[in-house]
């Protein structure tokens, strides 16, 4: 016999075992897992959207947070522009007549702008120490990669304070010859001048119409020749060739008189100015205030070199006028067969088999052939 309590307990146990068996027989790949997967995908997509919106929100908040810094940096740059403009006006009034005033004004402007840019960057960066370290590394890299621009800027500084040349001077720097048109921080531009010693469109010291630009580092590495800096005159020479059979004292007298008539009074003032410059430099050389004529021998003729002082931009003019007057003077009948122009010629010397020179109108020794009348 089973009591009613035992009968109820047995029934509950049987139902529990039946439910457990039914749960254990469920397939894990059944459709019961699909809702869980779908919910996970929905959660991932929502999280990505939330992250993107959060990033945009952070950027927006950062913009509003840094907006005052932008305005402060912009105000610093605007203030630098105003200060640089005022300093330029002030310095032009104070030192405008000084030959290095333009360099001083430019350096002051550069210093103001560099200070303003540094302040603006420090405001934006927030940490001035990190900014200084970064600028140091950047400056080291730029100094290595920008050697030529840095050298050109240094050349501009030297020229600005030493005054190797100014706008309007006629200079020769390396292969460049011309009148200075513009001087920038890195380059110099000149109106090219022709030269008989180099190829070009004009074979004399007159403008060619071309503009030539060269880097200012040529001042450091090359030779600078200024023809019109402190003294706008140069010495020039005109060679006149005559035959060795000419009356050389007479030729000297004629050429000296012709040059004196043309340039005698013109040379007095520049010669006196040149003498004063030489005295200030401690040089005691005597300066001629009249044209001079000097002799020099060549292979088969004699050169009479007329030396005179003329303006650097007037060399061709005076040389052309002097050449014309000399040609007119030497063509006069009284100098015929006295001052003999020279022409290209060859001289032949006959020698006999023994190596002894023989006259051109006599037969060689031991030869039965008649001597030629001419050669």
> What digits encode the pLDDT tens for the residues 240-271?
999 988 999 999 999 999 999 999 889 999 99
- Residue 89 and residue 260: Cα distance in Å, rounded? 52
3-state secondary structure of 304: strand
How many Cβ atoms are within 10 Å of 223's Cβ, its own excluded? 9
Asked if residue 136 lies in contact with residue 128, where contact means CB atoms within 8 angstroms, the answer is: no
Position 2 confidence tier, pLDDT thresholds 50, 70, 90? very low
Contacts of 142 (CB under 8 A, 6+ apart): none
Asked if residue 309 lies in contact with residue 235, where contact means CB atoms within 8 angstroms, the answer is: yes
* pLDDT-wise least confident of 88-92, 275-279, 286-290, 324-328: 88-92
- What average pLDDT score do residues 320-326 get? 94
Position 77 confidence tier, pLDDT thresholds 50, 70, 90? confident
- What average pLDDT score do residues 276-289 get? 84
Task: Please give the pLDDT value at position 29.
Answer: 47
- Residue 375 and residue 368: Cα distance in Å, rounded? 18
> Left if phi > 0, otherwise alpha if psi is -120 to 50, otherwise beta: which for 282?
left
Task: Please give the pLDDT value at position 230.
Answer: 86
Phi then psi dihedrals of residue 9, to 5 deg: -65, -40
User: In the predicted model, is pLDDT for residue 164 greater than 50?
Assistant: yes
Task: Please give the pLDDT value at position 110.
Answer: 78
- Residue 80 and residue 86: Cα distance in Å, rounded? 10
Position 19 confidence tier, pLDDT thresholds 50, 70, 90? very low
Position 187 confidence tier, pLDDT thresholds 50, 70, 90? very high
Task: Please give the pLDDT value at position 310.
Answer: 93
Position 33 confidence tier, pLDDT thresholds 50, 70, 90? very low
The mean of the pLDDT values for the chain is 78
- Beta strands per DSSP E along the chain: 170-173, 176-183, 187-193, 207-215, 224-226, 233-243, 292-297, 301-311, 350-351, 357-358
Task: Please give the pLDDT value at position 374.
Answer: 43
Q: Which residue would you say has higher pLDDT here, 39 or 114?
A: 114
Task: Please give the pLDDT value at position 349.
Answer: 76
Position 278 confidence tier, pLDDT thresholds 50, 70, 90? confident
User: In the predicted model, is pLDDT for residue 92 greater than 80?
Assistant: no
- What average pLDDT score do residues 98-103 get? 65
Task: Please give the pLDDT value at position 291.
Answer: 93
Task: Please give the pLDDT value at position 198.
Answer: 65
- What average pLDDT score do residues 170-198 get? 88
User: In the predicted model, is pLDDT for residue 123 greater than 70?
Assistant: yes
Position 370 confidence tier, pLDDT thresholds 50, 70, 90? low
Task: Please give the pLDDT value at position 239.
Answer: 93
Position 302 confidence tier, pLDDT thresholds 50, 70, 90? very high
Task: Please give the pLDDT value at position 350.
Answer: 82
Cα dist from 72 to 77, 134, 262, whole Å: 9, 21, 72
Task: Please give the pLDDT value at position 290.
Answer: 92
How would DSSP label each residue in 315-336? HHHHHHHHHHHHHHHHTSGGGT
- What average pLDDT score do residues 357-365 get? 65
- What average pLDDT score do residues 294-316 get? 91
pTM of the model: 0.60
Q: What percent of the chain has pLDDT over 70?
A: 72
DSSP state, 251? H
For strands 170-173 and 176-183, give the pairing: antiparallel
Question: Which of 22-26, 112-116, 321-325 holds the top average pLDDT?
Answer: 321-325
Q: Which residue would you say has higher pLDDT here, 154 or 56?
A: 154
Q: What percent of the chain has pLDDT over 90?
A: 29
- What average pLDDT score do residues 224-233 get? 90
Distance of CA 122 to the CA centre of its chain: 34
As given in the structure block, the two tokens for residue 258 are: 């012709």
- What average pLDDT score do residues 47-63 get? 72
């Amino acid at each position: 016999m089973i009591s009613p309590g035992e009968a109820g307990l047995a029934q509950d146990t049987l139902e529990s075992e039946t439910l457990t068996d039914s749960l254990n027989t469920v397939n894990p790949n059944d459709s019961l897992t699909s809702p869980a997967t779908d919910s996970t995908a929905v959660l991932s997509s929502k999280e990505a959207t939330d992250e993107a919106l959060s990033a945009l929100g952070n950027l927006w908040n950062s913009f509003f947070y840094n907006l005052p810094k932008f305005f402060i940096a912009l105000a610093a740059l605007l203030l630098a522009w105003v200060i640089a403009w005022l300093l330029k006006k002030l310095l032009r009034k104070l030192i405008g007549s000084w030959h290095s005033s333009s360099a001083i004004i430019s350096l002051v402007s550069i210093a103001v702008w560099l200070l303003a840019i540094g302040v603006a960057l420090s405001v934006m960066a927030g940490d001035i120490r990190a900014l200084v370290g970064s600028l140091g590394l950047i400056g080291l890299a730029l100094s290595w990669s920008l050697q030529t621009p840095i050298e050109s800027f240094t050349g501009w500084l030297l020229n600005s304070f030493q005054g190797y040349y100014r706008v309007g001077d006629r200079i020769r720097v390396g292969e460049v010859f011309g009148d200075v048109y513009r001087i920038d921080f890195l380059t110099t531009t000149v109106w090219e001048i022709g030269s008989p010693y180099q190829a070009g469109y004009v074979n004399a010291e007159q403008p060619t119409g071309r503009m030539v630009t060269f880097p200012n580092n040529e001042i450091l590495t090359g030779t600078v020749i200024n023809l019109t800096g402190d003294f706008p005159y140069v010495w020039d020479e005109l060679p006149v060739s005559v035959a060795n059979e000419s009356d050389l004292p007479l030729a000297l007298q004629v050429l000296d008189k012709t040059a004196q008539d043309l340039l005698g009074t013109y040379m007095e003032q520049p010669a006196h100015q040149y003498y004063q410059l030489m005295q200030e430099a401690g040089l005691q050389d005597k300066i001629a205030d009249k044209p001079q004529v000097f002799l020099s021998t060549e292979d088969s003729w004699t050169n009479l070199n007329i030396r005179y002082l003329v303006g650097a931009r007037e060399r061709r003019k005076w040389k052309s006028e002097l050449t014309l007057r000399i040609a007119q003077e030497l063509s006069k009948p009284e100098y015929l067969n006295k001052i003999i122009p020279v022409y290209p010629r060859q001289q032949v010397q006959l020698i006999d088999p023994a190596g002894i020179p023989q006259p051109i109108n006599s037969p060689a020794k031991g030869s039965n052939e008649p001597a030629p009348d001419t050669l």
